[in-house]
């Protein structure tokens, strides 16, 4: 049910012909109230796509009634004309819904540097609005897929209120240019500032700790809509907890479906001086192509773990670092530990624990391996 699981939301997904495959490619999520609090986080890429530029303006007011999403084209790096296309999309949806354009956020995903076929898109928005339904969450989730192999949805039930959500993305935050789009909905009542803080806290420990290929999209968008239809006003802590659960659930689904991946890798850096140090060291591993190819090859190559964290400024002494891969401490004190032959990497799940012995903080970064299929998919994506 995803975005339509909380009370007071309807959604739809339709095929508008943006995708040459004929698969669904336009989705609308509508908040039917009573409240219209909204919060969002967007890509930090300095080439934000037109829909990101537009939606930032919408969200500046901390309110939104609807989100229009399309796959089949990112509308990124398309200049003033591309921005006008997004604006026209919002205007058209607003007209169909009887609300203001400034209440309509837009999100797009697909190839960069191509204009959208506006006649098809506008007709698709009309069709989606006509089809809006309280059972439409699954259709909407399907319509935002690009190279995703499965739709991603979540439902988190709390005491009298619910968080729902959908996501697309076959790379990650720092994601594939195939982009991550997420819409979360809740029938909780929430002050917009509380909602924004809760969303930022939730994304900081979920989407922002997944680093599949180190690439940052021009289109990444996470939006949450809160309508108070449940009559419940959770505390900021309760809201943060539920949004974090929803975001983490979706993030793990993104990881499991990452383009061409054969491994889900959790890199935990323990006993770091600071959380930032732990994240820096974890990300250095997650972005090290030699480590990622080794893991694709079922090779517990701990030297590549050390070489990766050896490029960072995280606090540690080289002769005190331990590395444990799938439970075997293959490196002790920066040198040879237990035999690497004891490490079984044949499954999809891999855990790498790095003990820096430099403090009391820790953090986990999730990533994937670098596979032949990843290269194949990403070299053939637009050609």
Report the interface residues with a copy of itself, using CB under 8 A.
44-48, 74, 76-79, 81-82, 111-115, 171, 174, 176-177, 213-218, 287-290, 293-294, 296-299, 301-304, 306-312, 316, 318-319, 330-331, 333-336, 340, 370-372, 374-376, 378-383
Count Cβ atoms below 10 Å from residue 333 Cβ, excluding itself.
13
| CA proximity to 317, closest of 309, 308, 327, 329 | 309
| CA proximity to 349, closest of 325, 314, 376 | 325
Please identify, using beta-carbon distances, which residue of 36 and 322 lies nearer to a copy of itself. 322
Q: Least CB distance from residue 49 to a copy of itself, whole Å?
A: 10
Q: Is 146 annotated as a binding residue?
A: yes
Given 3, 78, 126, 179, which residue is catalytic?
A: 179
Q: Least CB distance from residue 298 to a copy of itself, whole Å?
A: 7
Q: Is 168 annotated as a binding residue?
A: yes
Q: Is 44 annotated as a binding residue?
A: no
Q: Least CB distance from residue 259 to a copy of itself, whole Å?
A: 10
CA dihedral over 121, 123, 128, 129, signed as positive or negative: positive
| CA proximity to 267, closest of 294, 305, 304, 233 | 305
Three-point CA angle 270, 273, 274, nearest 5°: 90
Please identify, using beta-carbon distances, which residue of 74 and 195 lies nearer to a copy of itself. 74
20 CB-near residues (< 8 Å, 6+ apart): none
Q: Least CB distance from residue 365 to a copy of itself, whole Å?
A: 16
Sheet holding 322-325, edge to edge: 335-336, 328-332, 322-325, 349-355, 264-272, 361-368
Please identify, using beta-carbon distances, which residue of 275 and 372 lies nearer to a copy of itself. 372
Told to judge if 262 belongs to the known catalytic residues of this protein, a careful annotator would answer no
Please identify, using beta-carbon distances, which residue of 213 and 241 lies nearer to a copy of itself. 213
Q: Is 179 annotated as a binding residue?
A: yes
Q: List the beta bridge partners of residue 39.
A: 224
Catalytic residues: 179
* Residues of each annotated binding site: 146, 168, 179, 259, 378, 383
């Amino acid at each position: 049910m995803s975005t339509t699981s909380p009370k007071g939301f309807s959604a739809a997904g339709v095929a508008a012909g943006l995708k040459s495959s004929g698969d669904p490619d336009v989705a609308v999520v509508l908040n039917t109230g009573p409240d219209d609090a909204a919060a969002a986080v967007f890509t930090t890429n300095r080439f934000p796509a037109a829909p990101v530029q537009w939606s930032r303006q919408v969200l500046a007011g901390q309110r939104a009634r609807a989100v229009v999403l399309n796959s089949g084209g990112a509308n990124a790096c398309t200049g003033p004309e591309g921005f006008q296309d997004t604006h026209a999309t919002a205007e058209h949806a607003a007209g169909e819904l009887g609300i203001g354009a400034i209440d309509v956020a837009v999100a797009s995903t697909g190839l960069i540097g191509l204009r959208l076929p506006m006649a098809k898109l506008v007709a698709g928005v009309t069709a989606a609005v006509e089809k809006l339904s309280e059972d439409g969450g699954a259709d909407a989730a399907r319509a935002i897929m690009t190279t995703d192999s499965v739709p991603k949805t979540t439902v988190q039930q709390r005491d009298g209120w619910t968080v729902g959500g959908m996501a697309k993305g076959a790379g990650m935050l720092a994601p594939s240019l195939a982009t991550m789009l997420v819409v979360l909905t809740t029938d909780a009542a929430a002050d917009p500032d509380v909602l924004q803080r809760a969303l930022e806290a939730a994304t900081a420990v979920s989407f922002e700790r997944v680093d599949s290929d180190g690439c940052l999209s021009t289109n990444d968008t996470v939006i949450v809509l809160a309508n108070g239809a449940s009559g419940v006003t959770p505390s900021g802590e309760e809201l943060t907890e539920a949004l974090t659960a929803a975001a983490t659930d979706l993030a793990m689904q993104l990881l499991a479906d990452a383009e061409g991946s054969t491994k889900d890798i959790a890199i935990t850096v323990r006993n770091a001086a600071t959380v930032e140090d732990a994240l820096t060291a974890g990300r250095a591993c997650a972005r090290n192509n030699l480590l990622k190819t080794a893991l694709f090859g079922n090779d517990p190559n701990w030297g590549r773990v050390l070489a990766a964290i050896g490029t960072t400024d995280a606090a540690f002494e080289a002769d005190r670092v331990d590395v444990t891969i799938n439970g075997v401490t293959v490196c002790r004190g920066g040198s040879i530990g237990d035999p690497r032959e004891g490490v079984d990497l044949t499954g999809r799940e891999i855990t790498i624990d790095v003990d820096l012995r430099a403090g009391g903080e820790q953090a986990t970064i999730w990533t994937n391996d670098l596979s032949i299929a990843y290269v194949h998919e990403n070299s053939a994506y637009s050609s």
